[in-house]
Amino acid sequence: MPTPGDQLPGGATDQNRRLKALEREVRELRAARRLENAAIGSGGLRITAGGRFAMETPAGRRMVDIGSIENSDFDHGDGSTQQAMWFRREDGSLFFACYAYPPGGSGETQAWTFYDRTGTAVLAEDTASGSGLARPWLPLNPPVPTDSTTWPRGTAANFAAIASSWNTLWQPQMRVFGLTAAVGAATGEVRLAIDGNPWGPTVSAGAAIDYTGPVPDTAIGSLFKLDVQARRVTGTGSIACQITLVHGRQT
Protein backbone atom coordinates (compact mmCIF):
# COMPACT_ATOMS: atom_id res chain seq x y z
CA MET A 1 0.00 0.00 0.00
CA PRO A 2 1.41 3.48 -0.91
CA THR A 3 2.56 5.60 2.00
CA PRO A 4 2.81 9.39 2.29
CA GLY A 5 6.55 9.00 1.86
CA ASP A 6 6.02 7.66 -1.61
CA GLN A 7 4.66 11.04 -2.66
CA LEU A 8 7.89 12.85 -1.69
CA PRO A 9 10.63 13.43 -4.30
CA GLY A 10 13.63 11.17 -3.98
CA GLY A 11 16.75 12.51 -2.33
CA ALA A 12 20.41 12.21 -3.21
CA THR A 13 20.47 8.53 -2.18
CA ASP A 14 17.59 7.67 -4.51
CA GLN A 15 19.16 9.52 -7.43
CA ASN A 16 22.47 7.75 -6.85
CA ARG A 17 20.70 4.39 -6.82
CA ARG A 18 18.93 5.17 -10.10
CA LEU A 19 22.21 6.33 -11.69
CA LYS A 20 23.99 3.13 -10.70
CA ALA A 21 21.14 1.03 -12.13
CA LEU A 22 21.33 2.96 -15.40
CA GLU A 23 25.10 2.47 -15.62
CA ARG A 24 24.66 -1.26 -15.03
CA GLU A 25 22.13 -1.51 -17.85
CA VAL A 26 24.43 0.37 -20.23
CA ARG A 27 27.30 -2.00 -19.40
CA GLU A 28 25.06 -4.99 -20.05
CA LEU A 29 24.00 -3.60 -23.42
CA ARG A 30 27.61 -2.96 -24.42
CA ALA A 31 28.61 -6.47 -23.37
CA ALA A 32 25.80 -8.12 -25.33
CA ARG A 33 27.32 -9.66 -28.48
CA ARG A 34 24.26 -11.24 -30.11
CA LEU A 35 20.55 -11.81 -29.87
CA GLU A 36 20.43 -15.37 -28.58
CA ASN A 37 16.70 -15.95 -28.76
CA ALA A 38 13.86 -13.88 -30.15
CA ALA A 39 10.32 -14.20 -31.42
CA ILE A 40 8.78 -12.01 -34.13
CA GLY A 41 5.05 -11.47 -33.99
CA SER A 42 2.44 -10.82 -36.64
CA GLY A 43 4.05 -7.52 -37.58
CA GLY A 44 6.99 -9.39 -39.12
CA LEU A 45 10.57 -8.23 -39.60
CA ARG A 46 11.47 -5.30 -41.86
CA ILE A 47 14.97 -4.31 -42.92
CA THR A 48 14.90 -0.85 -44.44
CA ALA A 49 17.09 2.02 -45.62
CA GLY A 50 19.63 -0.21 -47.34
CA GLY A 51 20.12 -2.56 -44.40
CA ARG A 52 21.34 -6.14 -44.72
CA PHE A 53 20.53 -9.55 -43.27
CA ALA A 54 23.38 -12.05 -42.92
CA MET A 55 23.80 -15.50 -41.38
CA GLU A 56 27.07 -17.27 -40.61
CA THR A 57 28.03 -20.75 -39.41
CA PRO A 58 29.72 -21.16 -36.01
CA ALA A 59 32.99 -21.38 -37.97
CA GLY A 60 32.35 -17.95 -39.48
CA ARG A 61 31.40 -19.01 -43.02
CA ARG A 62 28.74 -16.81 -44.56
CA MET A 63 25.63 -18.74 -45.69
CA VAL A 64 22.99 -16.04 -46.29
CA ASP A 65 23.25 -12.48 -47.56
CA ILE A 66 20.12 -10.44 -48.23
CA GLY A 67 20.32 -6.70 -48.80
CA SER A 68 22.82 -4.19 -50.09
CA ILE A 69 25.96 -5.39 -51.89
CA GLU A 70 29.06 -3.93 -50.28
CA ASN A 71 31.19 -4.36 -53.42
CA SER A 72 30.94 -1.20 -55.54
CA ASP A 73 31.47 -3.27 -58.71
CA PHE A 74 27.82 -4.24 -58.42
CA ASP A 75 26.48 -0.69 -58.05
CA HIS A 76 23.74 0.46 -60.40
CA GLY A 77 24.62 2.74 -63.26
CA ASP A 78 23.43 5.75 -61.26
CA GLY A 79 25.84 4.86 -58.46
CA SER A 80 23.22 3.55 -56.04
CA THR A 81 23.86 0.35 -54.12
CA GLN A 82 22.24 -2.80 -55.48
CA GLN A 83 20.01 -4.95 -53.26
CA ALA A 84 20.49 -8.67 -53.86
CA MET A 85 20.41 -12.19 -52.40
CA TRP A 86 23.07 -14.89 -52.00
CA PHE A 87 22.60 -18.32 -50.44
CA ARG A 88 25.57 -20.59 -49.80
CA ARG A 89 26.18 -24.13 -48.61
CA GLU A 90 27.71 -24.76 -45.22
CA ASP A 91 31.13 -25.02 -46.86
CA GLY A 92 30.71 -21.50 -48.27
CA SER A 93 30.08 -22.49 -51.91
CA LEU A 94 27.33 -20.51 -53.64
CA PHE A 95 24.19 -22.43 -54.66
CA PHE A 96 21.66 -19.64 -55.36
CA ALA A 97 21.89 -15.94 -56.15
CA CYS A 98 19.73 -13.15 -57.50
CA TYR A 99 21.59 -10.05 -58.67
CA ALA A 100 22.71 -8.02 -61.68
CA TYR A 101 26.27 -7.38 -62.79
CA PRO A 102 26.23 -4.19 -64.88
CA PRO A 103 29.98 -4.25 -65.73
CA GLY A 104 29.52 -7.71 -67.24
CA GLY A 105 27.25 -6.41 -69.96
CA SER A 106 24.07 -7.90 -68.49
CA GLY A 107 22.67 -4.48 -67.68
CA GLU A 108 20.51 -3.69 -64.68
CA THR A 109 18.24 -6.74 -64.93
CA GLN A 110 18.59 -9.03 -61.96
CA ALA A 111 18.56 -12.77 -62.68
CA TRP A 112 18.19 -15.76 -60.39
CA THR A 113 20.62 -18.64 -60.85
CA PHE A 114 21.33 -21.99 -59.18
CA TYR A 115 24.94 -23.25 -59.10
CA ASP A 116 26.61 -26.63 -58.64
CA ARG A 117 29.62 -27.07 -56.36
CA THR A 118 32.04 -26.11 -59.13
CA GLY A 119 30.33 -22.73 -59.53
CA THR A 120 28.71 -23.62 -62.85
CA ALA A 121 25.23 -22.22 -63.47
CA VAL A 122 22.87 -25.18 -63.89
CA LEU A 123 19.47 -23.46 -63.70
CA ALA A 124 18.83 -19.83 -64.60
CA GLU A 125 16.14 -17.60 -66.04
CA ASP A 126 16.33 -15.84 -69.41
CA THR A 127 16.67 -12.15 -68.60
CA ALA A 128 16.80 -11.05 -72.25
CA SER A 129 13.27 -12.17 -73.12
CA GLY A 130 11.86 -11.99 -69.60
CA SER A 131 10.35 -15.47 -69.80
CA GLY A 132 11.55 -19.05 -69.72
CA LEU A 133 14.89 -20.61 -68.84
CA ALA A 134 18.37 -19.65 -69.98
CA ARG A 135 19.84 -22.88 -68.57
CA PRO A 136 19.69 -25.79 -68.96
CA TRP A 137 19.31 -26.26 -72.69
CA LEU A 138 16.52 -28.80 -72.94
CA PRO A 139 16.19 -31.16 -75.91
CA LEU A 140 13.33 -30.69 -78.38
CA ASN A 141 11.78 -33.30 -80.62
CA PRO A 142 13.54 -33.59 -83.99
CA PRO A 143 11.59 -33.65 -87.27
CA VAL A 144 10.59 -37.16 -88.27
CA PRO A 145 9.31 -38.66 -91.57
CA THR A 146 5.68 -38.00 -92.41
CA ASP A 147 5.51 -40.86 -94.91
CA SER A 148 3.89 -43.70 -92.98
CA THR A 149 5.63 -46.28 -95.20
CA THR A 150 8.91 -45.29 -93.53
CA TRP A 151 7.66 -45.49 -89.95
CA PRO A 152 8.55 -48.31 -87.57
CA ARG A 153 6.12 -51.16 -88.28
CA GLY A 154 5.21 -54.70 -87.45
CA THR A 155 3.17 -57.62 -88.76
CA ALA A 156 2.98 -59.81 -85.64
CA ALA A 157 -0.42 -61.11 -84.59
CA ASN A 158 0.42 -60.40 -80.95
CA PHE A 159 1.65 -57.11 -79.50
CA ALA A 160 5.36 -56.71 -80.15
CA ALA A 161 7.73 -53.75 -79.87
CA ILE A 162 8.37 -51.85 -83.11
CA ALA A 163 10.28 -48.94 -81.52
CA SER A 164 12.03 -48.46 -78.16
CA SER A 165 13.88 -45.84 -76.14
CA TRP A 166 15.50 -45.56 -72.74
CA ASN A 167 14.90 -42.50 -70.57
CA THR A 168 15.79 -41.21 -67.12
CA LEU A 169 12.79 -40.21 -65.02
CA TRP A 170 12.99 -36.67 -63.60
CA GLN A 171 9.28 -35.91 -63.29
CA PRO A 172 6.50 -38.12 -61.95
CA GLN A 173 4.41 -38.08 -65.15
CA MET A 174 5.05 -38.36 -68.88
CA ARG A 175 3.15 -37.43 -72.03
CA VAL A 176 3.56 -39.34 -75.29
CA PHE A 177 1.96 -38.37 -78.59
CA GLY A 178 2.27 -40.11 -81.93
CA LEU A 179 0.59 -41.00 -85.22
CA THR A 180 -0.37 -44.51 -86.26
CA ALA A 181 -1.23 -46.04 -89.62
CA ALA A 182 -2.30 -49.27 -91.27
CA VAL A 183 0.00 -49.76 -94.23
CA GLY A 184 -1.38 -51.86 -97.08
CA ALA A 185 -4.34 -54.15 -96.57
CA ALA A 186 -4.25 -54.48 -92.80
CA THR A 187 -6.04 -53.51 -89.62
CA GLY A 188 -4.48 -53.49 -86.21
CA GLU A 189 -3.75 -51.76 -82.94
CA VAL A 190 -0.97 -49.79 -81.26
CA ARG A 191 -0.18 -49.26 -77.60
CA LEU A 192 2.64 -48.01 -75.36
CA ALA A 193 4.51 -50.04 -72.77
CA ILE A 194 6.90 -49.18 -69.93
CA ASP A 195 9.44 -51.84 -69.03
CA GLY A 196 7.36 -54.33 -70.97
CA ASN A 197 4.05 -53.55 -69.24
CA PRO A 198 1.16 -51.87 -71.13
CA TRP A 199 0.86 -48.15 -70.34
CA GLY A 200 -2.15 -46.12 -71.42
CA PRO A 201 -4.89 -47.00 -73.93
CA THR A 202 -4.76 -49.21 -76.98
CA VAL A 203 -5.73 -47.37 -80.20
CA SER A 204 -6.79 -48.60 -83.60
CA ALA A 205 -4.26 -48.09 -86.38
CA GLY A 206 -5.01 -44.78 -88.08
CA ALA A 207 -5.84 -42.92 -84.86
CA ALA A 208 -3.45 -40.71 -82.91
CA ILE A 209 -2.01 -42.10 -79.73
CA ASP A 210 -1.89 -39.47 -76.98
CA TYR A 211 -1.51 -40.36 -73.32
CA THR A 212 -0.38 -38.60 -70.15
CA GLY A 213 0.04 -40.49 -66.91
CA PRO A 214 2.38 -41.46 -64.06
CA VAL A 215 5.40 -43.62 -64.83
CA PRO A 216 4.83 -46.72 -62.68
CA ASP A 217 7.38 -48.44 -60.47
CA THR A 218 10.20 -46.07 -61.41
CA ALA A 219 12.13 -43.99 -58.90
CA ILE A 220 13.14 -40.44 -59.78
CA GLY A 221 16.56 -40.55 -61.42
CA SER A 222 16.14 -44.17 -62.58
CA LEU A 223 16.15 -45.52 -66.14
CA PHE A 224 13.02 -46.92 -67.73
CA LYS A 225 12.25 -48.37 -71.15
CA LEU A 226 9.48 -46.98 -73.34
CA ASP A 227 8.20 -49.27 -76.09
CA VAL A 228 5.76 -48.74 -78.94
CA GLN A 229 3.96 -52.03 -79.50
CA ALA A 230 1.81 -52.99 -82.50
CA ARG A 231 -0.18 -55.97 -83.66
CA ARG A 232 -1.85 -56.81 -86.95
CA VAL A 233 -5.41 -58.06 -86.56
CA THR A 234 -6.40 -58.68 -90.22
CA GLY A 235 -4.93 -58.35 -93.68
CA THR A 236 -1.48 -58.73 -95.16
CA GLY A 237 -0.05 -55.25 -94.63
CA SER A 238 1.68 -53.83 -91.56
CA ILE A 239 0.87 -51.63 -88.56
CA ALA A 240 3.06 -48.54 -88.16
CA CYS A 241 3.56 -45.76 -85.62
CA GLN A 242 5.69 -42.62 -85.43
CA ILE A 243 6.11 -40.94 -82.02
CA THR A 244 6.46 -37.18 -82.43
CA LEU A 245 6.40 -35.90 -78.83
CA VAL A 246 7.61 -37.16 -75.45
CA HIS A 247 8.07 -35.04 -72.35
CA GLY A 248 7.93 -35.29 -68.58
CA ARG A 249 5.57 -33.17 -66.54
CA GLN A 250 4.37 -32.52 -63.03
CA THR A 251 1.46 -34.33 -61.41
Statement to judge: residues 170 and 237 lie in one domain: yes
Mean per-residue pLDDT for 161-180? 96
Provide the pLDDT for residue 15.
Answer: 77
Provide the pLDDT for residue 230.
Answer: 98
**Residue 227 domain flag:** yes
Mean pLDDT of the chain: 88
Q: What are the pLDDT digits (tens) for 33-91?
A: 566 777 888 888 888 888 888 999 999 899 999 998 888 888 888 888 899 999 999 99
Statement to judge: residues 121 and 159 lie in one domain: no
Statement to judge: residues 70 and 159 lie in one domain: no
Which residue range forms the structural domain that includes residue 232? 148-249
Mean per-residue pLDDT for 92-117? 87
Statement to judge: residues 123 and 171 lie in one domain: no
Q: Which residue has the higher pLDDT, 151 or 14?
A: 151
pLDDT for residue 222 is more than 60: yes
Q: What are the pLDDT digits (tens) for 127-159?
A: 888 889 888 988 889 999 999 999 999 999 999
Q: What are the pLDDT digits (tens) for 77-103?
A: 888 889 999 999 999 999 999 999 877
The domain tally of the chain equals 2
Statement to judge: residues 160 and 233 lie in one domain: yes
**Residue 244 domain flag:** yes
Statement to judge: residues 155 and 116 lie in one domain: no
Statement to judge: residues 121 and 175 lie in one domain: no
pLDDT for residue 246 is more than 90: yes
**Residue 5 domain flag:** no
**Residue 141 domain flag:** no
Three-state DSSP at 244 gives strand
Q: Look at the chain and count its residues.
A: 251
Statement to judge: residues 63 and 129 lie in one domain: yes
- Of 96-100, 104-108, 200-204, the one with minimum mean pLDDT is 104-108
Sequence-ordered strand ranges (E) for 59-172: 62-68, 83-88, 94-99, 111-115, 121-125, 133-135, 153-154, 160-168
Q: Identify the bridge partners of residue 172 per DSSP, sorted by sequence position.
A: none
Residue 11: band (very low, low, confident or very high) from pLDDT cuts 50, 70, 90: low
Would you say the C-alpha torsion 180, 186, 191, 193 has a positive or negative sign? negative
Q: Which ranges in 12-135 belong to alpha helices (H)?
A: 12-31
Residue where one domain finishes, among candidates 77, 112, 135: 135
**Residue 20 domain flag:** no
**Residue 162 domain flag:** yes
pLDDT for residue 104 is more than 90: no
Residue 193: band (very low, low, confident or very high) from pLDDT cuts 50, 70, 90: very high
Provide the pLDDT for residue 30.
Answer: 65
Statement to judge: residues 184 and 122 lie in one domain: no
CA distance 240 to 250: 30
Residue 6: band (very low, low, confident or very high) from pLDDT cuts 50, 70, 90: very low
pLDDT for residue 107 is more than 90: no
Cβ pair 112, 96 in contact under 8 A? yes
**Residue 44 domain flag:** no
**Residue 18 domain flag:** no
